[in-house]
Structure formats: C-alpha cells, structure tokens
Amino acid sequence: MLTKLCLAVVGGLMVLPQMANADSFSGVCVEASLPKQVIAARNGKWTELTPEQWQFLRGVYVMNPQTPAGLPYGDKAVLAQVENYPDGLVFFIDGDQACTPMRAPPELLALIQEVGTAKINHPGAGM
C-alpha cells in the first residue's frame, strides 16, 4: 500500500508539476527506485547531478519559501524530467532514499545547467 501511495505522490508531482508544492512532502523519503521507475515509465530522464549542482541546489532549497527550514537530506541530488513538461523535480538522495522533492521551474533548470557546465554569466561592469 505504501509503495502505491509513493508512486501516486511522485506520479502526481510529475504529471502536475505546476501544482507541486514541497511543503506537503517535507521530510518524505522513499526508496529511490520508486520515483525512478515512475519517471522511466513516462519516458523521462533521471539525471544524477554533479557535486557543484548539488551544493547549488542546497542553497536554493534553503532560500525557497516553499520548502521547510533547514538543509535537505542527503549527500547528492538527481533531476527528474518528463518530456513535454517544462518543469523538473529535484530529489535529494540519502543513501538509497529519494528525499525532499523540490520543483525546478525552467529558470532554475537553466541555472542548474550553467552550474554543471561552469558557464556562469555575470552581466555588468562589476565594481
């Protein structure tokens, strides 16, 4: 029953990303294979992020008013994306558990990509 509930929650988050709100799922951890299977079933991508991207997203998580206070669980992160949906979903990985999902709108996806390729653009003349 818990497995079906977890699949329904993760599936719902991916099918309706514009409605995903991490407050409802704070502290939730599920076996990482469960959301990974849901993403694969929808021809999606499950991408392990670099340590730099993980650290960047920890900062985003802390400053995000839709996430609970404190740092997310885990020591790495993955990005789940489903074709034809502009948003992604970040899972913070703690061992074999996928925890504290956080919605990643297109603007954040672009920044995650920049951090991953070390192509950070700092417009302006500086000081």
Establish if 31 belongs to a structural domain: yes
What distance in Å separates the CA atoms of residue 3 and residue 17, rounded to the nearest whole number?
21
**Does 127 reside within a domain?**
no
Domain count, the chain: 1
Q: What is the 3-state secondary structure (H, E, C) of 1-24?
A: CHHHHHHHHHHHHHHCHHHCCHHH
Q: Residue 29: inside a domain, yes or no?
A: yes
Answer whether residue 123 is part of any domain.
no
pLDDT interval class at 126 (50, 70, 90):
low
Looking at residue 21, its pLDDT comes to 42
Asked if residues 9 and 25 have their Cβ atoms less than 8 Å apart, the reply is yes
Determine, yes or no, domain membership for 124. no
pTM: 0.74
What pLDDT is stored for residue 8 in this prediction?
44
pLDDT tens-digit readout, 75-93: 999 999 999 999 999 999 9
Would 112 be classed as within a structural domain?
A: yes
**Helix 106-117 and helix 51-63, axial crossing angle in degrees, nearest 10:** 140
Quote the domain boundaries for residue 33.
2-11+21-117
Q: Each residue of 32-60: pLDDT tens digit?
A: 999 999 999 999 999 999 999 999 999 99
